[in-house]
Amino acid sequence: MRMSVVQPGARLHYAVPRIFAEAGLLRCLYTDIHAEHRLLRMLDGVLPYGARPKAVRRLLGRRLPPGVAVAQVRDLPVRSLVLAFGERLGLLKNSMDSLSSALLVALESETYGADDVIYTVLVNEDAAAMTRLRNRGARVIHECMLGPDVGLWICDEAKLYPGLEDVAPRTEVDAGRQHDLVKLATADLVLAPSEFTRSAILDLAGASKLVSVVPYGLDLDRFDTRNVRPEPGRIVMIGTVGLRKGSHHFASASRELKRRGVPTSCRVAGPIPNTVRKHSTFQGPTYLGQVPRSQIGHEFQLADIFVLPTLAEGFPLAHLEALAHGVPVITTPNCGSVVRNGVEGFIVPIRDPIAIADRIEEIVTDRNLRNRMSVAARARAGEFTIEKYAERLINAVQLIA
């Protein structure tokens, strides 16, 4: 098998192409831009870290992993930079759509045969290209990071909480699901990061669709857990503030805890729209906004509990990072979580801030319970390392070998 990976961005630190390269399977990585170009390496060498804007830091951090040679990568550095600056200046919109189209043109310019497999993380904008490539003899693996029902969950939540955020109309969501269905039909194999996502795929595509669950993994060496010193009652949520993450339910739980007199400090790290920030439904926690990765690590080191009352996820890495730091997790069945109820944390119903508050109070006031869950959390994280992810991924790919 020869794997061609279509992946804009450096998601999971290029874990997928790295895994395929180490297994001797990688043919080519198609991505937007990486930091191995000579000019970017020179800039990395002369520009002090403290003087770098956030966007430049992220760009210069896109170093290809060991085993993935520059010659195995096709990217669009000039186009990516021009589109990024144009969008930042408000001159362009949807620059990623343009980049994806250009990557697909480059992908289709190659010759393919029965040994070739296209691994794509694009949502559904590549359905026509994948159909043409299959007709030329290649096979297709589609990694579905979020279930195709995510729009439905958000629409339902918007009905319950109107006016909190701009939500796509149901007609647009239904049209998107039809595009998802077309894309799923092009794939010989669909990969889902959790059983929750797999169920959503099968509900749309039908029970006969070949779907394999491959949960992500962490490179535990990247995390400094030596300075973990949890502060009792320090409750952390990480992610973009909004309906899908259940941020409003966490806010309600924080207000309930205050009403009960439970000593807690609820904190949210992640982007927050101004309209959301000002809305009373979200009042309660301290909102930190988008913070650097280094500060996220600090939040985990001090956290007593991690909460993610989400309505729809694939497999959030943040909850796995919490486990790696020994932080008990409170989340919902819709998280795609590896947390076992009562072991590494608690699973609570969606849309239930009282249940969230109850479980937070239980852990905060029972330090022996918190300690047991912390030990179990670290052990559970060890079952989802990058090495185990690689093993699961290679085994799944062999299903169409």
pLDDT at 93: 67
150 & 278 share domain:
no
Residues 114-165 pLDDT 10s: 999 999 999 999 999 999 999 999 999 999 999 999 999 999 999 999 988 8
Amino acid at 21: A
35 & 173 share domain:
yes
Distance CA 67, CA 59 (A): 20
pLDDT of residue 74 exceeding 70: yes
391 & 354 share domain:
no
Nearest to 311 by CA among 202, 153, 178: 153
Q: Kindly report the backbone phi and psi dihedral angles of residue 189, in degrees, each rounded to the nearest multiple of 5, phi listed first.
A: -145, 135
Please spell the DSSP secondary structure of 24-76, one letter per residue: T-EEEEE-S--TTSHHHHHHHHHS-GGG--HHHHHHHT-PPPTT--GGGEE--
Mean local confidence (pLDDT), 329-346: 97
131 & 247 share domain:
no
Residue whose entry in the numeric block shows the structure tokens 């149901």: 170
pLDDT at 346: 98
> pLDDT-based confidence at 37, cuts 50/70/90?
very high
Please tell me what DSSP assigns to residue 334.
G
pLDDT of residue 17 exceeding 80: yes
pLDDT of residue 94 exceeding 70: no
Across 57-104, the runs of DSSP E, i.e. the strands, are 73-74
Residues 41-52 pLDDT 10s: 999 898 888 888
Distance CA 129, CA 367 (A): 55
Cβ atoms of residues 364 and 189 within 8 Å: no
225 & 299 share domain:
yes
Nearest to 138 by CA among 176, 108, 158: 108
Residue 126, phi-psi category: left (phi > 0), alpha (psi -120 to 50), beta (remainder): alpha
Residues 316-337 pLDDT 10s: 999 999 999 999 999 999 999 9
> pLDDT-based confidence at 55, cuts 50/70/90?
confident
pLDDT at 91: 65
Amino acid at 357: A
Residues 232-285 pLDDT 10s: 999 999 999 999 999 999 999 999 999 999 999 999 999 998 877 778 899 999
Q: Kindly report the backbone phi and psi dihedral angles of residue 257, in degrees, each rounded to the nearest multiple of 5, phi listed first.
A: -65, -40
> pLDDT-based confidence at 356, cuts 50/70/90?
very high
188 & 224 share domain:
no
| Low-confidence winner among 57-61, 167-171, 244-248 (lowest mean pLDDT) | 57-61
Domain count, the chain: 2
Domain span at 134: 2-219+386-400
Mean local confidence (pLDDT), 204-218: 97
pLDDT at 294: 77
The set of residues, in sequence order, having a beta carbon less than 8 Å from that of 48 and lying 6+ positions away, is none
Mean local confidence (pLDDT), 168-173: 95
156 & 261 share domain:
no
Nearest to 308 by CA among 280, 279, 337, 287: 337
pTM to 2 decimal places:
0.93
238 & 339 share domain:
yes
49 & 166 share domain:
yes
Domain holding 183: CATH number?
3.40.50.2000
Distance CA 264, CA 254 (A): 8
Which of 170-206 are b and which e, b meaning 16 or more Cβ less than 10 Å from the residue's Cβ?
Answer: eeebeebbeebeebbebbbbbbbbbebbbebbbebbe
172 & 264 share domain:
no
162 & 251 share domain:
no
212 & 233 share domain:
no
> pLDDT-based confidence at 99, cuts 50/70/90?
confident
Q: Higher model confidence: residue 377 or residue 273?
A: 377
Please tell me what DSSP assigns to residue 207.
T
In this structure, the number of other CB atoms found within 10 A of the CB of residue 210 comes to: 14
Distance CA 367, CA 373 (A): 10
pLDDT at 278: 78
Across 64-222, the runs of DSSP E, i.e. the strands, are 73-74, 116-120, 139-143, 189-192, 211-213
